[in-house]
Amino acid sequence: MPVGTVASVKGVPQEIVEELGAQIILGNTYHLYLRPGVETVRKMGGLHGFMSWHRAILTDSGGFQVFSLSELRKLTEEGVTFRSHLDGSSHFFSPESAMEAQIGLGADIIMAFDECTEYPAHQSRLRESMELTARWAARSKKYFEDYKHEVPWNTASGKNLVGTAAIGCAGERQLATAAELRSAGQPKAAVPTGSEATQSLFGIIQGGMDRALRKESAERTIEIGFPGYAIGGLSVGEPREVTREIVESTLEHLPKERPRYLMGVGTPEEIIEYANLGIDMMDCVLPTRAARHGLLFTSEGKVSIKQARYAQDPGPLDPKCACRVCQRYSRAYLRHLYASNEVLAQVLNTIHNLSFYLDTMRRVRHSISLGEEYRFLSGVWSRPAP
């Protein structure tokens, strides 16, 4: 999932993100809550209408950003008080208010409010934090069940406001699916009708780098019951072997028939590795953030386009990449744009990196569809792809 923190995949317009084949993008609740504010987005028909993105959207709960970006936090059982990184104003997030914000933003998939435990942390702190996340998950679900019908693409006022911008948004997609199923002779109750269509609330597994706590967190979260499960609290500074070990052991406790989402990961090699372990969804700012710093992922490894060695290089950034940047521009030109601090450098670099990531995931999906014999590991096929 490309990350569109403030309802924008930085530097790239929605039509190009679509062209690159992204099926879903991520928005950050913390940022959107502070600016432009949930009410503004809700009145525009939710994020789909506001940013004119007709495919799926996932919003995080705001928890991770509150703990990583804001200042002067005060954590209680009830929730967390924090100061905005924009203007220092004071705000309060609880499981209930985080759900209220995410229902108003109207993404297709929303996340339970959790506490992302710092790394490293003592065992007693890890347990307390995991238990708090479990209690907050139950409160998140309760609030969601009580108020899920208020999602903007599902209310009369929302429908009037969004107009044509909402074509293809979640509610309408589900209507189409229902119609398709009915014509195929499936029972009408198989999928929700438009007025019943709601968001999907996913639970988040915490427990730090402790396998037993992760298992307990998984069991408690599954007991509450969610349509999908995320593994949170990783990629917070721990060694990569530890991340892998925790992902692998936590996956054993999560139902295979539900989407399993690893939050905040990773490099191209890592997303291949985790997808092969059984992870279905990942998000990371790396392709977009690295692009803005001139770091590009290619089939030949990482390229730092700022280096003088590319100043007169007429070749494409990645000879194996079919993206519009690699088809048209030279390394020399990309290097010049970066050195001149041109806005276009960020745009073109981001388009290529997103293309490389999405292409990587397409190869992974293809390899999974081919079965056990074909595996796309570390960017290389175990047997030549047919």
Catalytic residues: 60, 283
3-state SS string for the chain: CCECCCCCCCCCCHHHHHHCCCCEEEECHHHHHHCCCHHHHHHCCHHHHHHCCCCEEEECCCHHHHHHCCEEEEECCCCEEEECCCCCCEEEECHHHHHHHHHHHCCCEEECCCCCCCCCCCHHHHHHHHHHHHHHHHHHHHHHHHHHHHCHHHCHHHHHHHHHHHCCCHHHHHHHHHHHHHHCCCCHHHCCCHHHCCCEEEEEECCCCCHHHHHHHHHHHHHHCCCCEEECCCCCCCCHHHHHHHHHHHHCCCCCCCCEEECCCCCHHHHHHHHHHCCCEECCCHHHHHHHCCEEEECCEEEECCCHHHCCCCCCCCCCCCCHHHHHCCHHHHHHHHHCCCHHHHHHHHHHHHHHHHHHHHHHHHHHHHCCCCCEECCEECCCCC
- Residues in contact with Zn ion, counted by CB under 5 A, come to a total of 5
User: How many other β-carbons are positioned within 10 Å of the β-carbon of residue 322?
Assistant: 9
Binding-residue pattern over the window 161 to 180 for Zn ion, x denoting contact by CB under 5 A: --------------------
**Stretch in the footprint of Zn ion (CB under 5 A) among 156-164, 233-241, 328-336, 350-358:** 350-358
Smallest gap from Cβ 72 to Zn ion, in A, equals: 43
Rounded-to-integer distance, Cα 134 and Cα 220, Å = 7
C-beta of 170 vs 323, nearer to Zn ion = 323
Q: Is 352 in the site for Zn ion (CB under 5 A)?
A: yes
Smallest gap from Cβ 325 to Zn ion, in A, equals: 5
C-beta of 323 vs 364, nearer to Zn ion = 323
Smallest gap from Cβ 16 to Zn ion, in A, equals: 12
Smallest gap from Cβ 322 to Zn ion, in A, equals: 7
Smallest gap from Cβ 329 to Zn ion, in A, equals: 9
Binding-residue pattern over the window 292 to 331 for Zn ion, x denoting contact by CB under 5 A: -----------------------------x-x-xx-----
Q: Is 112 in the site for Zn ion (CB under 5 A)?
A: no
Smallest gap from Cβ 326 to Zn ion, in A, equals: 3
C-beta of 272 vs 326, nearer to Zn ion = 326
β-pairing, 229-231 with 200-205? parallel
C-beta of 234 vs 323, nearer to Zn ion = 323
C-beta of 250 vs 298, nearer to Zn ion = 298
Q: Is 335 in the site for Zn ion (CB under 5 A)?
A: no
C-beta of 209 vs 321, nearer to Zn ion = 321
Q: Interface residues with Zn ion (CB under 5 A)?
A: 321, 323, 325-326, 352
